[in-house]
Structure 1
Amino acid sequence: MEFGFAPEDDAFRGEVRAWLDAHATAAAGRRDWERALGAAGWIGLGWAEGGYGNRTATLTQQVAWAEEYARSAAPPRSGHIGENLLAPTLIAHGSAEQKARFLPAVAAGEELWCQGYSEPGAGSDLAGVRTAAVPEADGYRVTGQKIWTSLAHEADWCFVLARTEPGSRRHHGLSFLLVPMDQPGRIEVRPIRQMTGTSDFNEVFFDGAHARAEHVVGGEGNGWRVAMSLLGFERGVSTLAQQIGFAEELGRVVRDAVATGAADDPLVRARLVRQWAELRVMRWNALRTLGGPAAEPGAPSVAKLLWAGWHQRLGELAVLVRGAGASIGPADWSAAAPYELDAAQHLFLFSRADTVYGGSDQVQRTIIAERVLGLPREPKGVES
């Protein structure tokens, strides 16, 4: 597999870098930034279907955009769930009316989305979803709880995996619904405070929230097929941008190791070299996957296993090279104010969850065993 950048890709990269340099530092709020990206045509570069307000770009140009964005001082994206998850799913499974209604708003940065998949008791085992969508006159009444919902506090819409067939079990009887979040009294969003002191995730409670009949994607009862298709889009070009951030974190750990003298320890040096080598392997694997068959079995699971364990080990190494000082908070900390973490402390604490969220390591290994290696399926209990 050859994955190289042609002269036109380098020219595109230069255009991206110049635009980001000119606009990223002037960005106001995150929603305003999404609108600026949309107005300049930077949203939806990877969509397989045009005509919805987005410019088109080759795969190598999409990689260039993602890498330059990660290197820039641009704000964190609020629209990536709509752009990289919902939009490809609608293009693959949505009706013409659904595409015309939702894709232009995503491309313009006007509507933000969140993902309503995981539930208490149905996280890594997504087939255990219990949120119910009961038919009513002009749609569905959705009742249940979702958890670990990123950006729910900012989102205008949520795509929700819900059970539309009473009494159904496992992956049967599920539907993929598009639910507006602006329903006071019917939808409640509660932030989840993490060990880092931040609240990147939320709980979402649906109490009879309304979803319109024409906002079922892929047809009633086909939610599992649509949901699995969406997960296939979750780890694509964005993994390369993620690795740019990983490289910056690794560089910071190396500088700390040199400053504290920890790098003089041959065991520490060996671990630093291994982190660097494994990061290179992750990049080559991501490029191989992008340049290979469109539906390579198990590729997303392999990528998740690689980066989750790598990032967690980097967090452990970050505090190791700092020594005892890594356990000390700021001098002006008081019980009356939230504590603040430095970069190494935040990396260590946040990365503890890397091997759990987005599909635990155990689940990824099961997927590889069953779908790639052809081993016997793990017993799931009684199924309908």
Structure 2
Amino acid sequence: MLNRDALLACVAETDGDGGCIGVLVLRTQRLRDFEMLFGYAAGEALATALEHRLREALRPVDRLFRIGECDFAMVLPGLKQRQHAALAAGKVSRAARAPLEVCGHPVRANIAVGVATRPHDGTDPVTLCRRADEATLEAVQTAERHAFNSSVERQLVSHDALREAIAANHLAIWLQPIRSVRDGRLHGFESLARWRHRDAWVAPERFIATAEQTGLIGPLTHWSLHGTLRACAPALRENPTLVFSINLSPRAVLEDDVVAAFSAALALWGVPASALKVEVTETAFVSDMPALSEVLRELHATGVAISIDDYGTGYSSMAYLREFPVDEVKLDRSFIQDITVNTRSRQLAAAAVSLAHGIGAQVVAEGVESAQTLALLAEMGCDRYQGYLHGRPAPAAEAIAAMTGGD
């Protein structure tokens, strides 16, 4: 099943024919979660259906390799220019995300496609494939779900460097405003951890993944909680109605006494629990849903609000709404990015808003970048929004200063 050696041999032997060679790596996200819900046979059926779909999207000269349970690599020879690899990745991404027939049911695969080209990203097969694979981490963060590797040579995030950064307070809190759809009034901020290491910004998804894999997610959560409360305490004196959201990894919830830690931090900084909201990522795989639900209910009982982040991008949307004490649902930007031009997207977004309101939850739309999108969200009854239209992330001090100056 696994053809990694054949893939490397193919890359080594492929001639660019005067142009360049492209390598695409497609990673299926949260496959294990999918299999837990629908069974192992469904996981294999998804891989088979996805393989057929990819072959249809590729040119006859392109080569396809299955390199994981539901992961694939593609070699694209004879590309005239680097951008043609991006065009191919876009076609592959759209094909893979279209509904697939799996065990008699339509399923949308949650995928990310990383892109690399020779000679731009490397000349030897191992480097080229690694660079494409690394780029899938960046693709997950894009609406198109495909991306080039953004750096010439990706900086490794080591456990020791991250541990030192947390201990020495070398990370920073940035804030992005969240506003009312109805009147634009400032509702609060989402707190975002940022890290500048060796004169370069480290992507949050990379150092958070390192924290989760190396046992640092507890210390990182503790740092983020106190950093957020430190920033919001003076802002609340100016506007006591503000709510600050902090991202909470399910792994941190299951590994640490989160309820006690949050209560102690709120007391230390003199911040009421009603001013804090925790965002649990809907795309995160949860190995122990009952335990996570119990902790979130205990936290909710203290007055802290619970939000489901990136709603609609994973397999467990309904399970989260059923099991967790949900106060808010945040629609992922992929839900709303084309609602101004795509009727079905608009209908799906409206249905999501209606569903959330039906269980008594408020709705926040992420990634709002145009006035037209905002107007449609208002028609749907969406409650709040965040995005570049009226607020990019900024260092906490700058965001608070802008608030006191304009809101």
Shared fold per TM-score greater than 0.5: no
User: TM-score normalised to the size of structure 1?
Assistant: 0.29
User: TM-score normalised to the size of structure 2?
Assistant: 0.28
Which structure shows the higher strand fraction?
Answer: 2
